[in-house]
Structure formats: structure tokens, C-alpha cells
């Protein structure tokens, strides 16, 4: 926490971006190296994210945070035990976000990008709970990419554009 406060002071008088993306990668490697347990690395990553929530309001210029948490590729290749550990973290995390004092005090809107239909129902329910609890907020935007795939996102965006164009414009 002391290092983060120091970083805030160092960048305080410099122009900051309004949107920051954070790729939450390396938790397994860190857990194996420091805790001798890959799965506990995910728990440590969750703790770091919770600390960041308290700091976000101090970074006044940065209003949008996008967290890349769990890709479609990881869903396909990770062992069931690891996925179940992540599902437990996601469920607890989103349930906590729905009632988090800092989230509500600072009006942080929670959004999730990705194919959450591929997640267990209890995790989807927790996600929906956090989204619904914060849907009217506009001070900060916390985007979580879960079961996302960059290529799939581009294809889906193009399909939406084509559908919109076909509905809006007549090509006669």
C-alpha cells in the first residue's frame, strides 16, 4: 500500500489518462513462486484488486478501469480445479462489489464484457447483482472482461454494425 501511495504522489502533477486497462496476468506464476501454490496466486490477485478499489477515487482523472480477468482461452485450457477456484473468487467478488461501501460512495458503475453464458449460474447471478446495484452510477466505470476473446469481440462488433446498417439504411 505504501508503494501505491508513493506512486500516486509521483504522478499527481502529471497528466493522467482517463482510461486504464489492467491485464490481471501472472497470478498463477506469482502464487507458485511466492506461496508454493498456483491457486493461492488468484486469491492474492483478488486482494490486490480490492486494495485498488480504495485507491481509485484518489486517481481523480482516471474514470474508467478495464480489468482483463479470465479469457475464453483460459476457460478452455485451465484445469477444473483452477476454474472452480476462480468461479468462487468471481462469485464472492461480484457479490461483495454489489454492496461495497466504496463502490456506492464513489458511484462506481460495474460492467462485464465477454460471454458470461459460459460461466456457472451462481457466478452469472453474482455478476448481474453487481451490475444492477450500480447501473445508475456515472462517476467511475469498472469494466471486467471475463470469458472474452479479442477476435470474437471484433467479429461480434462487425455483425452488430452490419445488422444496424441493414436496419437503418435501404440499399435500393
Residues marked as catalytic: 25, 74
Distance CA 73, CA 89 (A): 19
> Cα dist. 38→22, 28, 85, 166 in Å?
20, 4, 11, 49
DSSP string of 50-89? HHHHHHGGGSTT--EEEEEEEEHHHHHHS-HHHHHHHHHH
Distance CA 2, CA 117 (A): 39
Amino acid at each position: 500500500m505504501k508503494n501505491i501511495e508513493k506512486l500516486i504522489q509521483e504522478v499527481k502533477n502529471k497528466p493522467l489518462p482517463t482510461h486504464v486497462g489492467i491485464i490481471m496476468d501472472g497470478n498463477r506464476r506469482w502464487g507458485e513462486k511466492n506461496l508454493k501454490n498456483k491457486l493461492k496466486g488468484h486469491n492474492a490477485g483478488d486482494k490486490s484488486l480490492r486494495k485498488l478499489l480504495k485507491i481509485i477515487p484518489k486517481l481523480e482523472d482516471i474514470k474508467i478501469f478495464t480489468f482483463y480477468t479470465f479469457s475464453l482461452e483460459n476457460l478452455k485450457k485451465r484445469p477444473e480445479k483452477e476454474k472452480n477456484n476462480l468461479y468462487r473468487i468471481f462469485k464472492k467478488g461480484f457479490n461483495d462489489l454489489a454492496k461495497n461501501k466504496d463502490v456506492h460512495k464513489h458511484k462506481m458503475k460495474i460492467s462485464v464484457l465477454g460471454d458470461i453464458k459460459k460461466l456457472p449460474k451462481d457466478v452469472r447471478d453474482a455478476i448481474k447483482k453487481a451490475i444492477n446495484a450500480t447501473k445508475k452510477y456515472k462517476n467511475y466505470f469498472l469494466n471486467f472482461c471475463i470469458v472474452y476473446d479479442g477476435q470474437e469481440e471484433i467479429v461480434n462488433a462487425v455483425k452488430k454494425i452490419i445488422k444496424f446498417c441493414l436496419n437503418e439504411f435501404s440499399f435500393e
